[in-house]
Amino acid sequence: MSVQFPKVIDIDLAKSTYDEHHGNFYFKLDKQVEERWKQHFRDACQQEGADCFYTNQPTINENEWVVAYAEIEGENDLKTVLYHIKHAVAVANQELREIVDAEKAEEAKKKAARNELEQKVKRIAGGLDFN
């Protein structure tokens, strides 16, 4: 599975559970995410330092939903929670993109070294006298 860098695109009220005060809301990601991305997202939520994440860290459900607690109105309302989720998603994307880029660079370096070795061996093998 290729690495995906999602963004939040919607909220599903039918999937969400809430009452007149608060609830757990399902925010839709535009791409399915892998385990590495989920870990970066969890780390970003912890680093976010948002009041709304102190006791109720957002979770990833079915690799495509962010489930987060929010109040209907007040300090930790949906707008505030969405702002912090979007920021955590952006941080997770940035951190994972840096890792993926470093992995690609390392892979290219190894491939170049292997190609160089193959060319060297071909030159040596081409000069062998089997007579």
The model's pLDDT over 5-58, given as tens digits with 9 standing for 90+, comes to: 999 999 999 999 999 999 999 999 999 999 999 999 999 998 887 777 877 899
User: What is the domain-level CATH number for residue 17?
Assistant: 3.30.70
Give the global pTM. 0.83
User: Residue 29 domain-assigned?
Assistant: yes
pLDDT-based confidence at 1, cuts 50/70/90?
Answer: low
Q: How many structural domains is the chain composed of?
A: 1
Q: Is residue 3 in some structural domain?
A: no
Residue 78 lies in a domain: yes
Q: What residues make up the domain containing 40?
A: 8-97
> 96: Cβ–Cβ under 8 A, 6 or more apart, which residues?
3, 5, 36, 37, 40
Query: Is 92 part of a structural domain of the chain?
Result: yes
